[in-house]
Amino acid sequence: MKAIRLKHVFSATATVVLLGLATSALAQFIWLDEKGVKQYSDMPPPASVPSKRILKTPGQSLARGAGSQEAGNDPADAAATDAKAAPAAPPTIAEQDAAYQKRKAELAEKNKKAAQEAKQASDKAENCARARANQRTLDSGTRIAQTDANGQRSYMNDDQRAKQNADNRAVLNDCQ
């Protein structure tokens, strides 16, 4: 009989201790950080967290802190507050993959465009170098031989030389 009574006393004591531990778990703060993620702590949130993002403080129920119906509020307002406070759902694997593929395609396009621009710049630099060499030849005053369609060699006359000089200078103006 005494063993049964001692067993009841022990059970009651254990229950009281467990309830005490459970109430200490209620002494927590819950708030949403700047990314919308719930944060749990036994310390108050940082001062930078606005009060509307604090969902629960010790002695306050989670439902009340999350925007449930309080005195003077109607259920529609409470639902709107819950919708604002709830963070967006994390993206699915398919959405993450689609975003990755989009970034990958954008990077490939950017690299292709950069390579094309580099090739154009290289070609322009090469053409400018040829035009400068041609201009030095035209400015030297030496006779310049040309080969016609029949393979016959002829020399540039002064009119041809002046036209070639004007054309070459137009090309060199684009090089600067």
Cα–Cα distances (Å) from 16 to 11, 20, 64, 139, in that order, read 9, 6, 27, 107
Report the 10 Å Cβ neighbour count for 67: 20
User: What would the pLDDT profile of 62-105 be if each residue is shown by its tens digit?
Assistant: 654 444 434 444 444 555 555 555 567 888 899 999 999 999 99
119 pLDDT band, cuts 50/70/90, is very high
Position 43 scores a pLDDT of 85
From CA 12, how far away is CA 140, in angstroms rounded?
Answer: 114
Token reading at 133: 């060499």
From CA 117, how far away is CA 109, in angstroms rounded?
Answer: 12
User: What would the pLDDT profile of 32-60 be if each residue is shown by its tens digit?
Assistant: 988 889 998 888 888 888 888 888 888 76
User: What would the pLDDT profile of 155-174 be if each residue is shown by its tens digit?
Assistant: 888 898 999 999 999 999 98
Position 74 scores a pLDDT of 47
Position 67 scores a pLDDT of 44
Report the 10 Å Cβ neighbour count for 69: 14
